[in-house]
Amino acid sequence: MEKEKKTTPNSLWSMLTMKCPRCRRGEMFTYANPYKKLSLKYIFDMPEHCPECGQIYDIEPGFWYGTGYVSYALAVAISVSTFVAWWVLVGISTSDNRIFWWLGLNAIVLVALQPWIMRLSRVIYMRFFISYDPDYDKTKPKEFE
């Protein structure tokens, strides 16, 4: 009998779809849509552990404070991207108010994407500490002290 070979989920896709870093299959958040209800409890509502591999999400008290740095980096990356797109498509000039229009548009984009950015920053931050385990069903989840 041949052993069934599991396919390895794509790292980037599993990050964008907010999957567990250890198995890349289990959901990290209780509700898939961060925009359904705009409250912090709803946006950050996570199970205690991964439903697929059992990895504990809340590793230690204060663990999620580091996501502020990741969220900041994502906001800067989005701002640079919108600036370059604005520069290429519309242009930048000191003789009119185009730069102020970009600032307003960028602020709207950042506010609109904030629930998604906050969730993505948690997923990225957790991947710094927990790596993919192809044999997650045979090994114990990573524990921290």
**Domain count for the chain:** 1
Indicate whether 137 belongs to any domain: no
Indicate whether 111 belongs to any domain: yes
Average pLDDT over residues 90-102: 84
Q: What is the pLDDT of residues 44-73, one digit of tens each?
A: 888 998 888 888 888 888 888 999 999 999
The reported pLDDT for the residue numbered 71 is 95
pTM of the model: 0.83
Sorted by sequence, the CB contacts under 8 Å of residue 100 that are 6+ apart come out as none
User: Alpha helix (H) ranges present in the chain?
Assistant: 11-16, 40-44, 67-89, 98-129
Structure token digits, residue 75: 């906001």
Residue 55 CB burial class (10 angstroms; 0-12, 13-18, ≥19):
buried
Indicate whether 24 belongs to any domain: yes
* Higher-scoring residue by pLDDT: 97, 89: 89
Structural domain harbouring 86: 11-129
